[in-house]
Amino acid sequence: MTTPSDQATTPISDEPPFERWADRFRLLSDPSRLRILSVICQGERNVTEICGLTGLSQANVSKHLQLLKAAEAVACRRVGICRYYRIIDDDLWALCPQSFANTHPIKPCP
């Protein structure tokens, strides 16, 4: 019988993509960010719409959107005084439906 220690092993470097995936998991570690992502995944939304759909305060939503934007998970476009946010990191969002399939179904991004 072959055990894992009998098999040849290849060293794994601590370089990307591991660092990038660790950053993505940190982004997903906050329930408020997950709620925001689940709302904007269904389509572009402004902060007021996100607040209404998540029940989060404007300050809280704005703070999390700044973090998501800095991590290049979301982008925004300005229309007048409103900014509309959308998901741009497909790899990040692809993790969510699989993670919540049994507890809280989330539709994958179109």
Instruction: Give CATH for domain 20-96.
Output: 1.10.10.10
Domain ranges across the chain: 20-96
pTM of the model: 0.72
Contacts of 74 (CB under 8 A, 6+ apart): 37, 40, 65, 68, 85, 86, 87, 88, 89
19-23, 30-34, 89-93: the lowest-pLDDT one: 89-93
Q: What is the pLDDT of residues 44-101, one digit of tens each?
A: 999 999 999 999 999 999 999 999 999 999 999 999 999 999 999 877 767 666 555 5
Question: Bigger pLDDT: 57 or 104?
Answer: 57
Binned at pLDDT 50, 70 and 90, residue 32 comes out as very high
